[in-house]
């Protein structure tokens, strides 16, 4: 039976390139001189640091610009409010969301079941597997999911006949 997987993955090479470009721009721009603006990347988040909350917001704006230019969806990032750090600096934590959590997976399965299409949807860890008897039904599901407003950026992989 034909099947495919619905996933939400991040293109890490593009994110790394966007962060490197943003860091270069922050170093070169005059309005960031002396503000201590920097971006620290960890595995599950970014830490933006600058002297004031306005400068932290400006660093985030530069990073957004670079991410959009590299076609990375902003749905993968969750911004927190700036907080005061030690030595009077401001910090902002940007969490990275990758994979489909169980609540969103249930929402996707419910949407598919409510659409009355002749397919089955199963949650497998952070992936939703869709199976059906005909390839056309699966393509209809992909078109249906693309038309929905979901809080995730979805990709459709592992299409098998």
> pLDDT digit string (tens) for 27-37?
998 988 888 88
Q: What is the pLDDT of residues 81-129, one digit of tens each?
A: 988 877 788 999 999 998 898 999 999 999 999 988 899 999 988 899 9
Nearest one of 60, 50, 55 to 89, comparing CA atoms: 50
Is residue 131 over pLDDT 90?
yes
- The answer to whether 4 and 135 are in contact (CB under 8 A) is no
Which residue segments constitute the domains of the chain, with CATH numbers given? 3-8+100-160 (3.30.70.860), 12-96 (3.30.70.990)
- The answer to whether 4 and 157 are in contact (CB under 8 A) is yes
Instruction: Please report the pLDDT score of residue 44 as a whole number.
Output: 87
Instruction: Please report the pLDDT score of residue 31 as a whole number.
Output: 87
Nearest one of 112, 82, 94, 89 to 10, comparing CA atoms: 94
What whole-number percentage of the chain has pLDDT above 70?
100
Interval 3-19 mean pLDDT: 91
- Encoded tokens for 143: 């078109």
Sign of CA dihedral 154, 102, 99, 130: negative
SS3 43: coil
Instruction: Please report the pLDDT score of residue 62 as a whole number.
Output: 94
Q: Look up the pTM and report it.
A: 0.83
Share the mean pLDDT of the chain: 90
Instruction: State the pairing for strand pair 3-7/127-132.
Output: antiparallel
In DSSP notation, 1-15 reads --EEEEE----HHHH
pLDDT band at residue 72 using 50, 70 and 90 as cut-offs: very high
Instruction: Please report the pLDDT score of residue 125 as a whole number.
Output: 86
How far is the C-alpha of 5 from the C-alpha of 124, rounded, in Å? Answer: 9
Q: Where on the phi/psi map is residue 111: left (φ > 0), alpha (ψ -120 to 50), or beta?
A: alpha
């Amino acid at each position: 039976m034909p099947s495919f997987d619905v996933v939400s993955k991040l293109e890490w090479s593009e994110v790394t390139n966007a962060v490197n470009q943003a860091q270069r721009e922050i170093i070169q721009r005059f309005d960031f001189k002396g503000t201590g603006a920097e971006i620290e990347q960890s595995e599950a988040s970014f830490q933006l640091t600058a002297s004031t909350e306005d400068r932290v917001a400006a660093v985030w704006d530069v990073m957004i610009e670079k991410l959009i230019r590299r076609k990375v969806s902003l749905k993968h990032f969750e911004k927190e409010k700036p907080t005061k750090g030690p030595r009077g600096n401001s910090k902002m934590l940007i969490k990275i969301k990758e994979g489909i959590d169980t609540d969103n997976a249930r929402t996707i399965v419910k949407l598919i079941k409510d659409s009355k299409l002749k397919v089955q949807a199963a949650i497998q860890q952070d992936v939703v597997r869709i199976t059906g008897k005909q390839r056309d039904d699966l393509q209809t599901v992909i078109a249906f999911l693309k038309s929905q407003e979901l809080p995730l950026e979805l990709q459709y992989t592992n299409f098998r006949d």
